[in-house]
Structure formats: C-alpha cells, structure tokens
C-alpha cells in the first residue's frame, strides 16, 4: 500500500492557510507548520501536531510516513492521534534511533485501545483475563506466572467483592494475578491493580440508555495497567511486578447483588450496598487487598471509577489521588515528562468516612445521584480502607480521560490509552 508523506516545518505559515490547522498540501505529501521555540512552548507544538493528525485521519486512507526531523514526542503526538477504530492506517516512523521505542509504545497502546473498543459481547470477564495473559506471556514467557480465581472460586478464596458484583451474569467473574519476575526476586517491587468491568448496566441502580451505551469501556483500568506493564517489559524493566485484574460484568438477574446487601471483605471490613452502580470500588477492594498481601512497596490502581472525576476534569485529564505526597508528586512529574495530562484531586483520611452506614462499617457510596458532592474523593477514601493502614506507597488513578465515544480534537474515537506511559515511567524508575 502506498503511503502519504508528512513533514514538519518551523517556517512561517503561508498567508492563505488557517492557523488553526496549519497544514500545507503538495501532491502525495503534507507539511505541518509548528511554531518555533521562541514563539510557543513544546506543549503547544505537540498539540498542533495532534490536531493536524486528526484532520489528516479524515482526509487520507493510507499510512502516514513521517519524514524529516521529528523528535520522539513529536512522532508520538502524531501517531497517537492519527487513525482510529474505523481506520487501518497508521504512522510510519522516521528512520532514526527512536523507532524501536516508538514501536513498543504503539504496540502497548494498540493492545489497550483495541481491547477497550471491543463490544461487550466479545469481551467477557474471562476473555479480558485471557487476552491480557496471552499478550503479556508472549512478551516474556520465561518470566511470567499466572494464577486466577473464577466464579465460586472467588468466594471460596475470600475475594467477595468481585464475586458479588459478577454473580448476576451468566459469564463468571475473574480475579487474574500475573507475576512478572525477571530476576527470581522474593520481594515484589510494584503491584498494579485494574478495574475490569467488561460491561456495567448499573445493576439494580440501573443506568439510563445513554449512560449505559459506552459501558464496554468500564474495563479501561485493566487495559491501562496491562498496557503499562507490557510496555515496561518491552523496555526491559528488571523489577518484580504483580498485576491484578478485577474482572466482572455488572448485570441484573435473579442472582444479582442488591441494594441493602452487606459484603464482608477478607480484611473484616463490612460494606453496605446503597448503589449497585458503585461497583468498581467493590471489585478494586479485592485487588488492593491482594496487592497489599504481595508486600509490594508501591501499589498503583487505575479505574474508570467515577463520573465525578469527569465532571471535575472533563475528558482531558486523569484524576490522581494519594495520601503519599512524595509518591503523588513523583507520578505527576513523570506524567508531565511524557506529556500525559493528570491532575491531583483531594484525598485525606476523613474521606474514608464520607459514606456512613447504620448497618456496616461503611457504605459503598452515598444514596444520592452520583454519590453526592466530592464523589471521586469519597470513592478514593473507600479504597484507602483496603491498602496499608497509612496508605503510604499507594496511588489511585481515576481515568476520566481513558475513553471518549466521539473522540476529540486530539484523540480518536473510543479508548485513548492515556495513563499507560505515565504508569510505565513509574515502573521503569
């Protein structure tokens, strides 16, 4: 298949071209004009490249061959914005030293985006776990070991949250543990936990039709942490890392969990269900306890957890929560270095008690629309009950920017993969 050549230029834009999309076409090629460093920041230049990549996606059907002088970040800004779920076209890297690293990054993002964009019928909890296992095992078969609990095995092992959320579906829930250990270490360095709700109807707290339409994306946390671990493996990470995927379908049936039920977790915490649509935190609680049991020095979870995070930050930023100030600052610094937008929202010990229950240690939400004010912080506070007592070494990412049905001026339709590079940077560091 022929390719379309795309070049970069810092020369002045011709007067007849609109500055909003500064592309000059010539035959089978186009030149994107970006401001020089004296006129704008690097961030503005990368944004211009992404906007032009989205425009080119709508105009050409062939691969885009990047030629000339492109930096790593410039190539990635184009590649991550070009194409989409209905396009087979992709970026072809410049012939320079960045090509191998860019291809690794592209492979990780492709895995995450493609699995997020699968239909709910295609992606059951077992299928999500299997695809994650197969991909990671293909990258480092000699260093990967796998354990999983499915259906009633979850309840027997004490993983009650995943079991309760998933028992309403005919397709059983799964907790997947992947142990990547390239140096035969006894100590686990980092544990990753991902929310893997493959479809979220809201349960008996049923969503509206428009609210339910894109709930295939509710496993975006599982896709993100799997993509991050895969990228780190391809980049040669030499740490012992455990991955926990909490996979379930949240459906309505005669066997589904109900409002007023009380779940008793492995650590003794009792939780009253006041909203079956606040199910993500219920499955993550099991994953966080498993991560804590692993003895990992650092625990990072990622989840498409709350609409409150989207209301606070829109679809442009992921929300970051931690009671470990140094860890949060380190993550935000790394995310800025890889040009992935994240923003810290409040989390304090008081947030553990923002969802009181007269019948249990806590409720899983507040009986108000969207969980009431501060819903994203309250959800993070709930999760903090299931990690170390002081919550040191724990970071929670609420993936507000993980999915956008209609895309944006920077991102294609569907899954975005935002968060993969930032988490990978933490693993590599």
Q: For 250-273, how does the pLDDT look when each residue is reduced to its tens digit (9 = 90+)?
A: 999 999 999 999 999 999 999 999
* CATH code of domain 119-428: 3.40.630.10
Structural contact between residues 332 and 359, judged by C-beta atoms closer than 8 angstroms: no
The Cα–Cα gap between 186 and 142 comes to 17
Domain residue ranges of the chain, discontinuous segments joined by +: 3-96, 119-428
Lowest model confidence (mean pLDDT) among 121-130, 333-342, 382-391 = 382-391
Structural contact between residues 245 and 194, judged by C-beta atoms closer than 8 angstroms: yes
pLDDT band, very low/low/confident/very high, at 42 (cuts 50, 70, 90): confident
pLDDT band, very low/low/confident/very high, at 1 (cuts 50, 70, 90): low
In 22-172, which ranges are E strands?
A: 23-26, 29-33, 63-66, 91-92, 144-150
Query: What number of CA atoms fall less than 13 Å from residue 65's CA on the CB side?
Result: 9
Give mean pLDDT, residues 319-341.
Answer: 98
* 142 DSSP assignment: G
What's the pLDDT tens digit per position in 279-301? 999 999 999 999 999 999 999 99
List, in order, residues 6 or more apart from 77 with CB less than 8 Å away: 46, 47, 49, 50, 53, 339
CA angle 104, 243, 168 (to 5 degrees): 115
Whole-prediction pTM = 0.97
Spatial CA neighbour of 128 closest among 136, 191, 80: 136
| Active-site residue set | 207, 281
* 217 DSSP assignment: G
What's the pLDDT tens digit per position in 90-111? 999 998 899 999 999 999 999 9
Torsion of CA 262, 263, 265, 268, to 10 degrees: 10
The Cα–Cα gap between 128 and 246 comes to 10
> Is 341's pLDDT higher than 70?
yes
């Amino acid at each position: 298949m022929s390719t379309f050549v795309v070049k970069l230029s810092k020369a002045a834009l011709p007067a007849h071209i609109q500055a909003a999309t500064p592309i000059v076409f010539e035959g089978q090629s186009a030149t994107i004009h970006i401001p020089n460093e004296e006129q704008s920041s690097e961030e503005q230049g990368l944004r211009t490249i992404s906007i032009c990549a989205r425009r080119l996606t709508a105009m050409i059907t062939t691969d885009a061959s990047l030629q000339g002088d492109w930096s790593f970040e410039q190539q990635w800004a184009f590649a991550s914005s070009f194409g989409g779920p209905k396009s087979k076209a992709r970026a072809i890297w410049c012939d320079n030293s960045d090509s191998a690293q860019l291809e690794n990054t592209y492979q990780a993002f492709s895995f995450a985006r493609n699995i997020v964009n699968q239909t709910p019928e295609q992606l059951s909890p077992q299928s999500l776990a299997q695809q994650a296992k197969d991909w990671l095992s293909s990258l480092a078969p000699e260093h990967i070991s796998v354990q999983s609990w499915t259906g009633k095995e979850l309840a027997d092992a004490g993983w009650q949250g995943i079991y309760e959320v998933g028992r309403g579906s005919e397709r059983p829930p799964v907790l997947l543990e992947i142990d990547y250990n390239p140096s035969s270490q006894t100590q686990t360095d980092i544990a990753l936990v991902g929310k893997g709700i493959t479809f979220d109807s809201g349960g008996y707290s049923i969503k509206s039709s428009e609210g339910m339409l894109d709930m295939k994306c509710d496993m975006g946390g599982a896709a993100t942490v799997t993509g991050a671990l895969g990228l780190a493996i391809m980049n040669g990470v030499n740490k012992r890392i455990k991955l926990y995927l909490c996979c379930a379908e949240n459906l309505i049936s005669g066997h589904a969990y109900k409002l007023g039920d009380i779940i008793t977790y492995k650590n003794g915490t009792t939780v009253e269900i006041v909203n079956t649509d606040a199910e993500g935190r219920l499955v993550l609680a099991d994953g966080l306890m498993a991560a804590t049991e692993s003895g990992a020095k650092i625990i990072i979870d990622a989840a498409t957890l709350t609409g409150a995070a989207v209301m606070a930050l829109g679809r442009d930023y992921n929300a970051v929560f931690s009671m470990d100030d140094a860890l949060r600052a380190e993550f935000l610094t790394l995310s800025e270095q890889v040009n992935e937008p994240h923003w810290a929202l409040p989390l304090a010990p008081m947030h553990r008690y923002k969802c009181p229950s007269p019948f249990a240690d806590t409720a899983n939400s507040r009986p108000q629309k969207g969980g009431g004010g501060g819903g994203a912080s309250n959800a993070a506070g709930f999760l903090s009950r299931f990690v170390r007592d002081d919550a040191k070494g724990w970071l929670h990412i609420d993936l507000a920017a993980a999915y956008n049905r209609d895309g944006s001026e920077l991102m294609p339709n569907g899954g975005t993969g935002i968060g993969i590079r930032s988490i990978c940077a933490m693993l590599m560091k």
